[in-house]
């Protein structure tokens, strides 16, 4: 359960600020360094307030070594609100209004509650609330471009945390748009998500409010 919370905190606003559309393209003949690419992503982050997309997640665990796939729909709304509705293979919902993060497993009939500000990762990712910039929070490196042209931008937190080891964005270097994100936890588990059919239409605040259904068991989780 803690791995799930770590993963979603680290991805809280990744697609929202990385997938904004439009703006002048960068010079395609000048491969960006890490600082330049991070600045382009930061610029996209500052433009987006609302975001919706379908997603496909591939999780690879290190021990035992196995891979499984999940899919559903995700919504983000600044500042710090999110909703992940998993439909395949199981119905699971992650919902946060920016103050409390809920994880609700429909089949289990259990809802886990975590105050956002009690998480170490909340403080590590201050750029989500506008209190810090990516360059202030992370050290970045750039890997070789993939055959599809996306460039991996690996972000390692400057302040050590047991919540995650690194976040990698797979970025279009011409625009700063990220089409995939990957989170690596401290023991090497990886969660990669690809976003499709994005929309930037305004989203209602009510979509980020969760109330446990009648009969659901509510449990508290503290990551400190």
CATH number where 141 lies:
2.50.20.10
pLDDT at position 120, please? 56
pLDDT of residue 213: 95
DSSP assignments along 174-195, one per residue: TT--EEEEEEE-TTS-EEEEEE
List, for residues 173-224, the tens digit of each pLDDT value. Answer: 888 888 888 889 888 899 898 988 889 899 999 999 999 999 999 999 865 4
Is the pLDDT assigned to residue 167 strictly greater than 70? yes
The secondary element (H helix, E strand) that includes residue 18 is helix 14-18
Residue numbers of the domain that contains 49: 2-220
What span, in angstroms and rounded, lies between the C-alpha atoms of 53 and 72?
Answer: 9
Q: How far apart are CA 97 and CA 5, in angstroms?
A: 15
Model confidence, pTM: 0.79
Under the banding of pLDDT at 50, 70 and 90, the label for residue 7 is very low
pLDDT band for position 134 (cuts 50, 70, 90): confident
What is residue 10's predicted lDDT score, i.e. its pLDDT? Answer: 46
**161-164 long-range CB contacts below 8 Å, 24 or more apart?**
161/120, 161/121, 161/124, 162/120, 162/186, 163/6, 163/9, 163/10, 163/119, 163/120, 163/121, 163/124, 163/223, 164/6, 164/7, 164/9, 164/10, 164/121
- Domain total in the chain: 1
Diameter of the chain by CA atoms?
59
Question: pLDDT at residue 38 above 80?
Answer: yes
β-strand 178-184 against 151-157: which pairing, if any? unpaired
Q: Give 186: exposed, middle or buried? Use CB within 10 Å, 0-12, 13-18, 19+.
A: middle
How many CA atoms does the CB half-sphere of 206 hold within 13 Å? 0
pLDDT value of position 30: 56
Q: What share of the chain in percent tops pLDDT 70?
A: 77
């Amino acid at each position: 359960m803690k791995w799930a919370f770590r993963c979603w905190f680290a991805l809280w606003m990744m697609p929202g600020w990385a997938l904004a559309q439009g703006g002048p393209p960068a010079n395609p003949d000048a491969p960006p360094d890490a600082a330049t690419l991070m600045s382009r992503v930061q610029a996209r982050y500052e433009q987006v307030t609302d975001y919706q997309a379908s997603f496909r997640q591939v999780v690879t665990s290190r021990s035992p070594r196995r891979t499984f796939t999940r899919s559903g729909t995700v919504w983000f709304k600044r500042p710090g609100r999110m909703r992940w509705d998993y439909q395949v293979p199981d119905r699971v919902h992650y919902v946060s209004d920016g103050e409390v993060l809920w994880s609700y497993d429909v089949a289990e009939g259990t809802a886990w509650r975590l105050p956002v500000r009690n998480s170490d990762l909340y403080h590590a990712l201050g750029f989500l609330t506008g209190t810090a910039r990516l360059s202030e929070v992370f050290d970045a490196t750039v890997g070789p471009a993939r055959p599809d042209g996306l460039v991996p931008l690996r972000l390692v937190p400057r302040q050590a945390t047991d919540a995650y080891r690194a976040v990698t964005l797979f970025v279009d270097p011409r625009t700063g748009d990220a089409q995939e994100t990957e989170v690596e936890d401290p023991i090497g588990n990886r969660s990669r998500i690809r976003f499709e059919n994005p929309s930037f239409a305004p989203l209602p605040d009510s979509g980020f409010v969760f109330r446990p259904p009648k009969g659901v068991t509510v449990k508290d989780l503290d990551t400190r």
